Amino acid sequence: MQEYLLDIAGKKIFVAETGEGPPVLLLHGGGPGASGISNYARNIAALAKEYRVIVPDLPGYGRSTKGIDGADPFGYLADAIRGVLDHLALDRAHLVGNSYGGACALRLALDTPDRVDRMVLMGPGGIGTTRALPTAGLNSLLNYYGGDGPSRLKLEKFIRNYLVFNAADVPDSTIDARYQASIDPEVVAAPPLRRPSGPNALRTLWKMDFTRDQRLSRLPVPTLVLWGSRDKVNRPSGGPMLADRMPNCDLYLAANTGHWVQFERAELFNRLCADFLAARR
């Protein structure tokens, strides 16, 4: 696997890539200690059999520059990933996004649909976020850096109780690695995912709710939405909301699966993702 740092508008974006074929960007979620390679550890090799798999660390995470624009976080992420496409001289690419990365992918597609071939979204953020109280899982995520600060116990509770359906499926080594990444001093000083606050908080929340964006009903990008039926972070009802609004959207609800579809149901995900991106029925 090739690894490198790109300079995108003065910020460093870490990228790993492997495989040959049509380009596919895998965009990770926003939980504490997340990174591209760790989020897609069970998927990269399988997809690389027929795709050029490009795995960035989103701004604020992993080996990329820390800190994001809290006034428009999804727009900031989308701009950075569009910059990755530009730097790699890719006019178009497939996007695969989990949770926070799903929100990044959807915002990029809404802003510049000509840059996206096909899109796979797994439990994406920003689906009706201002219309109901946050889930227990999302509260756990957002509270991680608050109170008495980050701890391995808090992270383990988030992952085992809320991120996945079967807690035993997550090895201790995964929690250990994510905990160490989550306590990077730069991350602690500027957590990349936090509750909007201040006088413009409501405006920020509206920007983060794609169901209020009229462009959604005109988005031509073929999209597959995968959602775990037992997702405790982003409500599974978001799946039908997207399918109802998007003109070219397929929906798959995975039984006995939490928020981390690509990890918990890797074999299913790899098959569905590869077939959908290749337009195979």
Count: domains in the chain: 1
The reply to whether the predicted model has a pTM over 0.85 is yes
Note the pLDDT tens digit of each residue in 153-205: 999 999 999 999 999 999 999 999 999 999 999 999 988 877 666 666 566 66
Please, what is the average pLDDT of the chain?
93
Q: What is the mean pLDDT of residues 202-225?
A: 86
Distance CA 104, CA 137 (A): 20
Q: What is the mean pLDDT of residues 31-49?
A: 96
Q: Which domain holds residue 62?
A: 2-277
Residue 215 scores a pLDDT above 90 = yes
Sheet holding 2-8, edge to edge: 2-8, 11-18, 52-56, 23-27, 93-98, 116-122, 223-228, 249-254
Q: What is the mean pLDDT of residues 217-230?
A: 97
Residue 111 scores a pLDDT above 90 = yes
Distance CA 147, CA 49 (A): 45
- Position 223 scores a pLDDT of 98
Identity at 45, one-letter amino acid code: A
The catalytic site residues sit at 259
CB 36 within 8 A of CB 28: yes
- Position 276 scores a pLDDT of 98
Q: The domain that contains 21 carries what CATH number?
A: 3.40.50.1820
- Position 130 scores a pLDDT of 54
**Nearest of 99, 119, 74 to residue 249 by alpha carbon:** 119
